[in-house]
Amino acid sequence: MGGNKVQGEGDYEGARRYREATEQSAREQAKGGKPIKDDAPKAADKLTPEEREGRSRAKAPAQDKRDAAYMDDLVEKKKKR
């Protein structure tokens, strides 16, 4: 990496490499004219033990909504002060 490349808030080179790899992967999956379908349920059956453990600790959508409501309440209480 050269000394005069502006990176700013993100790594432009890393983002470019990621975008190119993602586009290549999508092209490979869509070969034969088949659209890429949402296969999340199928993929869940193929998780490694580590991935299953990570998912077991992930928040459920209801928890996110609860946390958002809690944060909204805190903001409103702060405004009233």
pLDDT at 2: 53
Judged against a pLDDT cut of 70, whether residue 4 lies above it is answered with no
Helix (H, G, I), strand (E, B), or coil: what is residue 17? helix
Where do the domains of the chain lie? Answer: 12-80
pTM over cut 0.85: no
Contacts for 36 with CB less than 8 Å, ≥ 6 apart: 26, 29, 30
Q: Are 30 and 37 in contact (CB under 8 A)?
A: no
Tens-place pLDDT, residues 10-67: 788 888 899 999 988 888 777 766 666 666 666 666 778 887 788 777 777 788 888 8
pLDDT at 19: 93
Judged against a pLDDT cut of 70, whether residue 78 lies above it is answered with yes
> Distance from CA of residue 78 to its chain's centroid?
31
Side chain identity, residue 68: A
